[in-house]
Structure 1
């Protein structure tokens, strides 16, 4: 598990009891709107917006939830 991801990295995460795969779209380091919700992130606690390979939808996850593919 990496603590740092870059745009374009291919990652996996757990989603509703199964494993999802996708691509990191951006690193979020401040409070912002993403994936239909307010994301409370900071430089010390970043989050990542990822796009699912299967559905094309985006989601936001903390680094600990993502795993390098």
Structure 2
């Protein structure tokens, strides 16, 4: 899978404020909630919990939204 990442990978994604860099904290493979946001992750459609290098904020993103740096 082209969008496969592992814990510790440095990645970049785009937010409304521009590009953000961070680190993969966890691969999500089941339904979960992050800051009152429902994440519909599954083994077939995983998402990744990432931590912003600048703010320390956590967010979940699909692999297709992330780019390894």
Same fold, judged at TM 0.5 (above): yes
How far apart in 2 are the matches of 1:5 and 1:57? Answer: 19
SS in 2 for 1:64: helix
Counterpart of 2:33 in structure 1 is: 33
User: What's the TM-score, normalizing by structure 1?
Assistant: 0.91
> How many residues align structurally?
68
Change (3 A) 1:27 1:35: farther
Counterpart of 1:6 in structure 2 is: 6
SS in 1 for 2:64: helix
Please list every run of 5 or more consecutive structure 1 residues that lacks an aligned counterpart in the other structure.
none
How far apart in 2 are the matches of 1:36 and 1:64? Answer: 23
User: What's the TM-score, normalizing by structure 2?
Assistant: 0.91
Q: Which runs of 4+ in 1 moved over 4 A?
A: none
